[in-house]
Amino acid sequence: MSKARKSVLCWAALSPFLIVVLFPYLTMLSTALKQKDEIFTFHRSWLPREFYLGNFVELFVDRNFGRALVNSLTISVGATLLSLAVAIPAAYALTRMRVPGNSALTNYLLITQMISPIVLIIGLFRMFAYFGLINSLMSVIIAHSAFFMAFAVWMLKSYFATIPKDLEEAAWIDGASRFSAFVRIFLPLCLPGVVVTAIFTFVNSWNEYAMSLTLLRDVSQQTAPVQIAFLTGTLYQIEWHLIMAATLIASVPVAVVFASIQRYLIGGMSLGGVK
């Protein structure tokens, strides 16, 4: 069988799944480009009468959705960097050093992933209120990092275990310190795994709703998921034209992140599957 025929058969087999994946985005795009009175009509059509961009203008001008996107981006990037800053050395220590209670600590990290953040939301609110961090983006960054850090350590530990110790030992023989060997030899080899962990942490932080709603009280501090949820009750009606436009815009940063570092994502997933 020729390569072209195999490619056609593969795409034909994947086309149903592709339709299922793309259908929500096509629905969002179609609704976002329609005027309000065009959505709830008896004879609906996929294509709008005219491509109406007023929904996006209203979001950014009247609803201050651009500020919400900046807040979400600030929190997600900050939580990702803070989580990796702690998870990378922690995973390295659990993989390469003799840490007392290594197995128990690893199991504990796994158990923490079974606890929903909503269970601890009242305690988190009282703690951040005590330190005067309510209505501060830093409080959400710290809270997200605390919950996603265990996942990052667990992911990176499995990636780090695939790197042969001989490479570091060769660097030590050549006179490099442990830190120098870690930065120059070990970490570049683990870059795909670090990128995959960063992606999952970023996406989890970007989509998080409960902690952002609880810790951020000011309208100007709201994140994109919170502001999208508030659109469902505006003026005693569900403004689907604005919700679809906002959801479409909110999905763009995640899609850009996945597309820009796709090669690291594939390499990191294959690295974690080989022991």
How would DSSP label each residue in 166-199? HHHHHHHHTT--HHHHIIIIIHHHTHHHHHHHHH
- With a pLDDT cut of 70, the percent of the chain lying above it is 91
The model's pTM: 0.83
CB atoms within 10 A of CB 142: 19
The predicted model gives 119-131 an average pLDDT of 89
- 80 and 46 inside one domain: no
- 202 and 150 inside one domain: yes
Q: Which residue has the higher pLDDT, 15 or 88?
A: 88
- Confidence check: pLDDT of 129 > 70: yes
150-192 pLDDT, tens digit per residue, is: 889 988 888 888 888 887 778 787 777 878 888 888 888 888 8
Please tell me the total count of domains within the chain: 2
Which residue from 148, 157, 181, 159 is spatially nearest to 265, judged by alpha carbons? 159
- 112 and 169 inside one domain: yes
- 141 and 232 inside one domain: yes
- 14 and 69 inside one domain: no
- Confidence check: pLDDT of 64 > 70: yes
- 227 and 255 inside one domain: yes
- 125 and 201 inside one domain: yes
**Domain span at 185:** 60-273
- 111 and 233 inside one domain: yes
Distance CA 50, CA 33 (A): 8
What length is written for the chain?
275
Confidence band, pLDDT 50/70/90 cuts, at residue 264: low
- Cβ proximity of 75 and 144 under 8 Å: yes
- Confidence check: pLDDT of 272 > 50: no
- 28 and 70 inside one domain: no
Distance CA 166, CA 168 (A): 6
- 86 and 134 inside one domain: yes
pLDDT of residue 270: 47
CATH number (domain holding residue 173): 1.10.3720.10
194-244 pLDDT, tens digit per residue, is: 888 898 899 899 999 989 989 998 888 889 999 988 887 655 677 888 888
